[in-house]
Amino acid sequence: MKKWLLIAGCCGYLPFLSGQSDFAIRHVNIIDVVRDSILRDRTLLIGDGIIEHIGRAKNTRIPDGHQVIEGNGHYLLPGLINMYTHVNESNLMLYLANGQTTVRDIPSHLNVLGLREQVKEHKRAGPRILSYGLRVTGAPAPFHSQQPIFTAGQGREQVREAKRLGYDGLMIYATCPPHAYAEILDEAEKIDLPVSGHFPICIDENEVLQSKQREFDNLTGLTRGGELRFDRAQLLLQLKEHNKAITPSLAVHKLWSLAHLEDSIFRSPLMEYIPSKLSATWKPDGDRLRNNPPYPYERVAAFVKELSDRGIQLFLGSDGGYPLVVPGFAFLDEMELFVNAGISIPKVLRYATVDAARFLGLENSGTIEVGKRADLLLLSENPLTDIRHMRKIAGVMTEGQWWSQSYLQQELSNLKNQLRSRDHRFQAWDGYLPVEGQGPHLNYTFYTGEYPVGQHKTWIDTLANGIVTLRSAMVADGPDFRETYSFHRIRNRRTDSLFLVNRGSEGETKVAVSLKNDTATIRGFSPFHGPFEYKKFAPVGTQFWCPFISRYFELDNPVNYYLALTLAGNIDIDEANQIKVLQIELNSEEFGEKYILDESVATIYRTGEREYRLIYPGFSGFPNRTSLPFNLRITTGQHTIPLNIQYLDHQIQLHEKE
């Protein structure tokens, strides 16, 4: 299993946006997606992001102060709505540049809620974001708040928590437990929280089809290996009878059928828009897919065509961010796959605009009408004659801003450059880090395979009375911005206090830990959750460790390994020692007592003069089952300082620059 790290310092990719302006788009042909017609040579007047007037170009006077956009006889459509995709800081412009003015992130996380608010406040360029989380599952998941639902009460509680945190909807996973499914949907209806997700595989199909879950994504749970799990005729009948909708994500199914072309897909120029850390996990790994039977894509596409013919509501969602599925661009692939399956272009345009808007309750979107939100896509060619013309984008309007084709292309070029830049990793931490030269200075670079994907710095200062302080900053490259600063104070070979700052798109989290006797007091503030304070039993000998660098428990702060080796005491070759560990986690979904990830024991085994093995069983809110055990080989330098840290089970290495 390949492992990867998360991004740092990417918040400056895109320009901060000014306030909304008044615009006039003149001499355009408006595609009416409802009536399948074209209104020719029109002029639109737009103020504060709302369409205020539509008229014949020759009869419309443009008021003073309006910025004029020349339509040049191009074709104007409502902005596209991507119903199933994955959002992060590094891909927002990919959606805009491909005409998607609304995206639904599912399953979502609090960092996406932060992005959603930044786009609304014009602090970041991007499409309107709908954030569907937490996810309801019956299997272990990455975060405490997304752990398995064991009772109906827990299911209702998670629904209420999703609403309290501000999510736009709730995600149902295929593993949703049967004993809580109806209660979850009932609670969601009571508090007006939309529910979407997979077709639950642990629940009787009739119960699911007759339930209050209105939509099923990806065909997950409906198909297995491309084949329907249920009787075709009966399924079609019940989907129609109970007014269910499906977002099939054909782009992913098509990709599965192209396993033999993995290598060439990976070498696509579009991969330049994917952060190295993420693309490293997408790299083809031999015969994993090629040895499987050919995926029956044509049967899947034929089923989707039959759904459309039967009048079952379909939507388009690309699952952008799934391996080898490039966000934004894949949605246009999805449109072409729908048409290639035999679905008419007008119907596909309706699925991607007005139908999706109505389903989501976005009554001010989906069509080009007076009073509607000005989410607009300008094409240089008529898409009704060829769906491939959807790629001929002349400009996009959203959030009261106009993005010309030349500007979008420049932003894409900037994005590629920023994804490969390492120049500003620690710029945000100048006020926290000491001046160079104060005590030993450790500088690690993280690698996934051949890719450098992050960096870590630690300063060590030895004071009087057996006190040692450590200051550490961690950053990691795309796709999700996350940086962590930590301050350790060690007194008499034990953690005395710990201060942590975590930054992500959801905001800044701060946590302070102080120990007295056998009690740790933990205070802090977490975005969306608010302030918290609690106490934790920490007997003598307990070591507090710093956070993982990512949301997915993939890599610890290297300062933990320095602490483990120095606090383990003097051990001879072929001897071992153990340390009781409590780890503080700063994932965006964690708050309050959930910051203590787990209790565990780290084993330090000395294998040579400067060689050690460090093993611990992993941390998670669902004990020792979410994250894999960590098994590291550590080579040290002077003062037991780790120089090279190799994860034996994963494709990660850290190299310290002496």
The pLDDT tens digits for 54-97 are 999 999 999 999 999 999 999 999 999 999 999 998 999 999 99
Residue 228 pLDDT grade (very low, low, confident, very high; cuts 50, 70, 90):
very high
Q: Domain of 531?
A: 427-656
Residue bearing tokens 């590629």: 416
23 has pLDDT over 90:
yes
Q: How, if at all, do strands 576-584 and 542-545 pair?
A: parallel
Judge whether 479 lies within some domain: yes
Number of folded domains that form the chain:
1
Of 341 and 568, the one with more pLDDT: 341
The CA–CA distances, whole Å, from 54 to 41, 73, 363, 446, 593 equal 10, 15, 18, 55, 55
In a domain, 404, yes or no: no
The radius of gyration of the chain from alpha carbons, rounded to an integer in Å, stands at 27
For 272-330, give the DSSP string. GGS-HHHHHHHS--TTTTTTSPPP-HHHHHHHHHHHHHTT-EE-----BTBTT--TTHH
In a domain, 628, yes or no: yes
More confident residue, 15 or 238: 238
| 53 in any annotated domain | no
pLDDT bracket for residue 17 (50, 70, 90): very low
pLDDT in tens, 353-395: 999 999 999 999 999 999 999 999 999 999 999 999 999 999 9
* Secondary structure letter of residue 220 according to DSSP: B
pLDDT value of position 624: 37
> Are the beta carbons of 125 and 153 closer than 8 angstroms?
no
Of 3, 553, 586, the closest CA to residue 277 belongs to: 3
Provide the pLDDT for residue 274. Answer: 92
Q: Residue 347 gets which letter from DSSP?
A: H
471 domain residue, yes or no: yes
Bridge partners of 25?
A: 44, 69
> 561 vs 364, which has greater pLDDT?
364
Q: Is residue 130 one of the residues assigned to a domain?
A: no
Pairing of strands 313-314, 245-247: parallel
pLDDT value of residue 6? 25
Residue 507 is which amino acid?
G
Find the mean pLDDT for residues 592-606. Answer: 78
| Model pLDDT, residue 222 | 96
* pLDDT score for 606: 94
List pLDDT tens digits, range 105-161: 998 988 899 999 999 999 999 999 999 988 788 876 655 556 678 889 989 998 998
**617 vs 495, 583, 614, CA distance in Å?**
21, 12, 10
The listed range with the strongest mean pLDDT (38-42, 416-420, 571-575, 594-598) is: 38-42
The pairing of strands 530-537 and 128-136 is unpaired
Compute CA distances 196 → 179, 206, 216, 349, whole Å.
Answer: 18, 17, 6, 22
pLDDT of residue 436: 56
The whole-number average pLDDT for the span 226-235 is: 94
Please give the pLDDT value at position 57: 96
What's the pTM value of the predicted model, to 2 decimals? 0.90
Structure tokens given for 484 = 């962590």
Average pLDDT over residues 547-551: 67
What pLDDT is stored for residue 551 in this prediction?
Answer: 60
Residue 482 belongs to some domain of the structure:
yes
Whether 514 is covered by a domain: the verdict is yes
Token pair for 362: 């976005």
Is 22's pLDDT higher than 90? yes
Whether the predicted pLDDT of 513 surpasses 70: yes
pLDDT of residue 650: 56
Residue whose tokens read 């795309």: 478
pLDDT of residue 259: 81
> Looking at 39-43, 394-398, 422-426, 549-553, which range is the least confident one?
549-553
| Residue 658: pLDDT over 50 | no
pLDDT tops 60 at residue 552: no
